[in-house]
Structure 1
Amino acid sequence: MNAPDLRPLPTAWLNRFAGLGADFYTELAASGMPAPHWVAQSPACAELLGWPADWASRPDWNALHVLSGNASWLGMRPLASVYSGHQFGVWAGQLGDGRALLLGELDTPNGPQELQLKGAGLTPYSRMGDGRAVLRSSIREFLCSEAMAALGIPTTRALAITGSALPVRRETIETAAVVTRVAPSFIRFGHFEHFAHSDQHAALRRLADFFIEQHAPDCLEAENRYVALLEKVAAQTAELIAAWQAVGFCHGVMNTDNMSMLGLTIDYGPFGFLDGFDPGHVCNHSDHQGRYAYARQPNIAFWNLHALAQAMLPLLDEPPEAAGERLIAALDAYKSVFPAALMARLRAKLGLVQALDGDQALIDDWLKLLAAGRSDFTIAHRRLAEFGAAPEPLRDLFLDRAAFDAWAERYRARLAAEASVDAERALRMKTVNPAVVLRNHLAEGAIRAAQGGDFGEIARLLKVLQRPFDEPELASDADFPPDWAQTLEVSCSS
């Protein structure tokens, strides 16, 4: 393992993050895995990179061993970055890439993209961990990253999973895997917090200037580039959380070190999509206080933005009180963008084109109706598309038929108010209300097959998830979760 196999790729390595200097990372090679094998690959992610369809099997690329941490491509500069953060609302101090390794940054037809291995072994920031990832969590992250992209939700991407018989101890002995993640940048709120809390203000400014120049150049023309950056991050985060809420996605671990400065969904761990609609649903079995419940995600994101604002205080050359006021004012972007973005998405989910008085109440009452009977979030919205032609399948989702009928009358009147045409509305709604999301039981089926050596279900499910708005060939992919799925638990242990 780790014997260099230096081969060039057809695209150039940029490695701009590495240019920030040794305060920001530790350069080291991956630990590698014995006798690696392919578990899954994403053709869509490879296309994003501009790679040929046969990239994984090309002998001159040796991609299996590179993406397992056993070899290198010419021009790579593997490194683990340092950051800090608040975990479950408590300052956790120094954290960092404990089991992730940034291979470098590639110049691609779709702009610069960083490649990162998750599960590539110990780093100086592993703390009490072993630096490894296991097969089950790697499959979940791979599938969800690509599913979210297909849903149009900002996210890091997943290029591939490699696996090995290397044993990894969690609650039981499992096998190791490595996910190759792709994003324009993996910089998090926690990177800024690290340098602010450790009083490395020169490094903090270097980080902020780097990020603005590379990823937010529009902020350069602002009166204060750092205030403009915070406002931009707040708006992007607002759009992201609105997208999560509208599709019923629960992140599970919204710590500040898991918040992307680009407004991407990052660090898929104990995530979940809602089945029955429960605003208080907690998808992380380890979240005993319910801090990251579905309904709390918008406020948690705002809390995290406050932590980022606090970290950016040293960047403003003015008294702390005045600087604080300016940065807090920048967070107003979140307070204005989030409700508007969420309302726009929910209005579209109900097939409404115009914005009319009373829409908020109609939508709120629809969500209350779903919550009262724990009606299936994804199926209910999908069936709502056929409300005009076939209302009974939707009505059957509600135990309180009288309450549904009363709401349905209001909905009919609202559709009539904008002269909605049922067939046209149904088509619109089916482009925003997915038929298929990565429910826990679907992921679990792929995991169990893979643990038995069959990776075909991962590939099949990936194809389904990449067309989430189409009716799947297997009706069960879009059906209610089976009874046994109620016992599935997802925690931070991965």
Structure 2
Amino acid sequence: MNESTAPQWHRPGRFEALGPAFFTYLQPTPVPAPHWVATSASTSQLMGLNPEWLQTDEALQTLSGNAVSVPSPDGRKPLASVYSGHQFGVWAGQLGDGRAIMLGETSLGFEVQLKGAGRTPYSRGGDGRAVLRSSIREFLCSEAMAALGIPTTRALALTGSPLSVARETLETAAIVTRVAESFVRFGHFEHFAARDMQEELKALADLIIDQHYPECRTATALQGNAYANFLQAVSERTARLLAQWQAVGFCHGVMNTDNMSILGLTIDYGPFQFLDAFDPGHVCNHSDNQGRYAFNRQPQVAYWNLYCLGQALLPLIDSEELTIAALDSYKTVFPAAYATQMLSKLGLPEDAAGTAPADGRFALLVNPLLQILADNKVDYTIFFTRLTEAVQQAQEGNIDFEPLRDIILDRATFDAWSLTYSEQLAQVDQAQAADLMQKSNPCFVLRNHLGETVIRAAQGGDFAPVQQMLAVLHAPYDSHPAYADWAGFPPDWATTIEISCSS
């Protein structure tokens, strides 16, 4: 292989410079007979990798954990990090990368991590492996979210192996190559705060601020307290992330503090789901018996998690008043961002939303519409796709709502709403409204039954559907006539799919 095609992750990562209290060096555990399942050209391009490298056996062996030594000749030192966290609202103590091993950091500042690469000191009795089923879901959803414009970790590659892994049944192993500017979570800060390791807590906060939030050093808000400004910035990023989740109908499923990114990324794709029929109280994780992470609870849970982060950072902020003030920004940023997202789905630009999210067009249109969708169990994605098409095809401002009335039982209530909507839409430029809706309402999301379809094919040895699904999800706002069925209503059997924390 030409040397120039090799990935440039030669230097030790900046996280590694924090010292041994933060991680353990270890080697991924090799798997037998690895093979490619899928790769993402989009992520490869983002990382600045030569695409030829992903076609080599060296890449296959490296991204399967079979060709990495400690330390490697080029300076890479694979490691697993330690963190703690609250799981389902209960302090769980020490956790950590139980099956994720970081290969290093690229020259462009991306951390590269193998998920499913074997046991680590933080596996807590687990085998450190991931199975093909859940790995396909994470690979595809990471890339789908990026294409939707939602902050997320990325997936470079997915490899498989005939190695048997015991879950509810015996399944085969797989490894996802995950990429992010940082994999640091709220739980990293909780870990050191809980142990009163204030030097380590400060070192971690300083690293993240200097690397990702440098503006917090000079901001004059919150009395110029860099750590309070940092907490506020994380709160605001998280608020905007949650607004995007809610607008697209995404359920995370396991919003533990150790699954919350300090960069406001969507991280750790486990029992996630995009809504089919709109149900505000939908619980996608069948392990969540109390419904803590129901769809409509996600914004409140995110704030609860931020409060835990605030408690962890309190020794650095050194002021309860400033800590609370930093967290309070979430309460204004989330509703404003959510209003913007939802009004965009209706073709109404941000400056038409009124001065407060709860007033004006949001209260007039969004709240009643969501109630209609919930009462009539309307498919969330299809409704907004059809509404977009109706506005695009409207003649002289007259919108044909029949395709939408066809999927709603209570037509009288919908007719009243559509009259109000038409009146509001008439106040903006229709072509601009149609364009805004086209960019805000995806035709394709990774529904559970679509994931299950490609998983079944892959389990039978056919990996082509994974790559085909990836191509569609990389362009979710396009029509893709050849795959029109993937934008249709889910089959009846989709309601029987149970997704849990098992992976």
Please say whether Structure 1 and Structure 2 have the same fold, judged by a TM-score greater than 0.5: yes
Deviation at 1:219, TM superposition (A): 1.1
**In the superposition, relative to structure 1, how do residues 427 and 369 fare at CA in structure 2: closer, same or farther (>3 Å)?**
same
State the alpha-carbon separation in 1 of the partners of residues 116 and 284 from structure 2.
23
Among 193, 202, 221, the alignment partner of 1:205 is 202
Equivalent residue for 1:54?
Answer: 52
- The one-character-per-residue Cα deviations of 1:68-105 (angstroms, maximum 9, x if unpaired) are 11112622110000000000000000000000001111
Equivalent residue for 1:234?
Answer: 235
Equivalent residue for 2:255?
Answer: 254
Letter in 2 for 1:347: L
Among 406, 419, 426, the alignment partner of 1:409 is 419
Please state if 1:267 is matched with 2:275: no
Equivalent residue for 2:88?
Answer: 88
CA contact (8 A) 2:7 2:106 kept: no
Partner SS state of residue 261, structure 2: coil
Please state if 1:351 is matched with 2:360: no
Partner SS state of residue 328, structure 1: helix
Aligned residue runs from structure 1 range 348-387, under 5 A: 348-353=344-349, 354-356=352-354, 358-361=360-363, 362-387=365-390
Letter in 1 for 2:452: E
- The one-character-per-residue Cα deviations of 1:345-370 (angstroms, maximum 9, x if unpaired) are 00100011222453122110011010
**In the superposition, relative to structure 1, how do residues 493 and 47 fare at CA in structure 2: closer, same or farther (>3 Å)?**
same
Equivalent residue for 1:327?
Answer: 323
Equivalent residue for 1:118?
Answer: 115
Please state if 1:138 is matched with 2:147: no
Among 456, 468, 478, the alignment partner of 1:460 is 468
State the alpha-carbon separation in 2 of the partners of residues 141 and 10 from structure 1.
25
Q: Which moved more, 1:353-362 or 1:147-156?
A: 353-362
Deviation at 1:51, TM superposition (A): 1.2
Deviation at 1:14, TM superposition (A): 4.2
Letter in 1 for 2:150: I
Aligned residue runs from structure 1 range 1-16, under 5 A: 9-10=7-8, 12-16=10-14
Among 465, 477, 480, the alignment partner of 1:472 is 480
Equivalent residue for 2:316?
Answer: 315
Letter in 1 for 2:145: M
State the alpha-carbon separation in 2 of the partners of residues 241 and 10 from structure 1.
33
CA contact (8 A) 1:385 1:425 kept: no
Partner SS state of residue 51, structure 2: coil
Letter in 1 for 2:94: Q
**In the superposition, relative to structure 1, how do residues 374 and 133 fare at CA in structure 2: closer, same or farther (>3 Å)?**
same
- The one-character-per-residue Cα deviations of 1:288-333 (angstroms, maximum 9, x if unpaired) are 00000000000000000000000111113x4xxxx12210110111
Equivalent residue for 1:166?
Answer: 163
Please state if 1:183 is matched with 2:193: no
State the alpha-carbon separation in 2 of the partners of residues 431 and 385 from structure 1.
10
Letter in 2 for 1:116: Q
State the alpha-carbon separation in 2 of the partners of residues 95 and 414 from structure 1.
51
State the alpha-carbon separation in 2 of the partners of residues 16 and 345 from structure 1.
35
CA contact (8 A) 1:96 1:125 kept: yes
Q: Which moved more, 1:71-80 or 1:403-412?
A: 71-80
CA contact (8 A) 1:118 1:133 kept: yes
State the alpha-carbon separation in 1 of the partners of residues 8 and 225 from structure 2.
39
State the alpha-carbon separation in 1 of the partners of residues 499 and 237 from structure 2.
28
Please state if 1:492 is matched with 2:495: no
**In the superposition, relative to structure 1, how do residues 167 and 105 fare at CA in structure 2: closer, same or farther (>3 Å)?**
same
Q: Which moved more, 1:247-256 or 1:361-370?
A: 361-370
Please state if 1:442 is matched with 2:450: yes
Equivalent residue for 2:409?
Answer: 399
**In the superposition, relative to structure 1, how do residues 85 and 10 fare at CA in structure 2: closer, same or farther (>3 Å)?**
closer
CA contact (8 A) 1:146 1:462 kept: yes
State the alpha-carbon separation in 2 of the partners of residues 426 and 360 from structure 1.
18
Deviation at 1:211, TM superposition (A): 1.0
Please state if 1:337 is matched with 2:340: no
Letter in 2 for 1:340: A
How many residues are paired up? 476
Aligned residue runs from structure 1 range 31-46, under 5 A: 31-46=29-44
State the alpha-carbon separation in 2 of the partners of residues 17 and 266 from structure 1.
18
CA contact (8 A) 1:472 1:478 kept: no
Equivalent residue for 2:397?
Answer: none
| Deviation beyond 6 Å, 4+ runs, structure 1 | none
Structure 1, unmatched stretches of 5+, are: 1-6
CA contact (8 A) 2:353 2:362 kept: no
Deviation at 1:136, TM superposition (A): 0.3
Deviation at 1:420, TM superposition (A): 3.7
CA contact (8 A) 1:8 1:75 kept: no
- The one-character-per-residue Cα deviations of 1:12-46 (angstroms, maximum 9, x if unpaired) are 43411111000000000001211100111000000
CA contact (8 A) 1:14 1:107 kept: no
Structure 2, unmatched stretches of 5+, are: 395-399
Partner SS state of residue 54, structure 1: helix
Deviation at 1:146, TM superposition (A): 0.2
State the alpha-carbon separation in 2 of the partners of residues 213 and 420 from structure 1.
43
Among 191, 194, 197, the alignment partner of 1:194 is 191
TM-score by length of 1: 0.94
Partner SS state of residue 121, structure 2: coil
Q: Which moved more, 1:406-415 or 1:357-366?
A: 357-366
Equivalent residue for 2:103?
Answer: 103
Deviation at 1:10, TM superposition (A): 4.3
CA contact (8 A) 2:12 2:76 kept: no
State the alpha-carbon separation in 2 of the partners of residues 247 and 50 from structure 1.
29
State the alpha-carbon separation in 2 of the partners of residues 459 and 415 from structure 1.
39
Deviation at 1:428, TM superposition (A): 2.2
State the alpha-carbon separation in 1 of the partners of residues 244 and 6 from structure 2.
39
State the alpha-carbon separation in 1 of the partners of residues 311 and 231 from structure 2.
11
Deviation at 1:402, TM superposition (A): 0.5
CA contact (8 A) 1:277 1:377 kept: yes
- The one-character-per-residue Cα deviations of 1:215-239 (angstroms, maximum 9, x if unpaired) are 1111111421110100000000001
TM-score by length of 2: 0.93
- The one-character-per-residue Cα deviations of 1:244-285 (angstroms, maximum 9, x if unpaired) are 000000000000000000000000000000000000000101
Equivalent residue for 1:3?
Answer: none
State the alpha-carbon separation in 1 of the partners of residues 346 and 184 from structure 2.
36
Deviation at 1:400, TM superposition (A): 0.5
